[in-house]
Amino acid sequence: MEMQSESDEDARPGRGKILQRHKREIKALQEQKKIEAGRLMSFAKAKREHKKIEARQEKRDLDEKYKAMEDELKLKHADELAAFQPEESCEIVDDHIGYLEVDGEGTRKSRLQKKKDLLAEIEKELREGPAESG
């Protein structure tokens, strides 16, 4: 059994394989969302049956549910990558800027500004981190 644990450490997947697995997991979640969305009542049928508001609310609820699941999965992936190579955390942040989601409130310009502020804050923390440990 001891030999197997040593070979598991040697056979640890690389960063690229982990990223591939992350993309597959996100794609699977999106496919699952499409399948579940297909089961909902279509908007045309809802209009005929005078249930348009209920159908739209179901769609919103489904979108919120899967958005939350996807955000949770992305955070898990970011944590996994951070634990995988903590010495290259700057590179990880640059590679996964898509994980930074800003609230959908406000105008496009204000959302972009919030995103820029968030990135500046992260960069500042990364610059100060090595200075404190050294």
Report pLDDT for 91. 53
Token digits of residue 63: 């979108």
Residue length of the chain: 134
User: Who contacts 32 (Cβ-Cβ below 8 Å, separation ≥6)?
Assistant: 66
Q: Which residue reads 């769609």 in tokens?
A: 59
SS3 sequence, 107-125? CHHHHHHHHHHHHHHHHHH
Q: pLDDT by residue (tens digit) across 35-81? A: 999 998 888 888 889 999 999 999 999 999 999 999 999 999 888 88
Q: Which of 15-29, 48-62, 85-99 has the lowest mean pLDDT?
A: 85-99
Mean pLDDT score of the chain: 78
Please give the radius of gyration of the chain, using alpha carbons only, rounded to the nearest integer.
21
Q: What is the pTM of this model?
A: 0.52
pLDDT band at 2, cuts 50/70/90? very low
To the nearest 10°, the Cα dihedral for 81, 84, 89, 95? Answer: -40
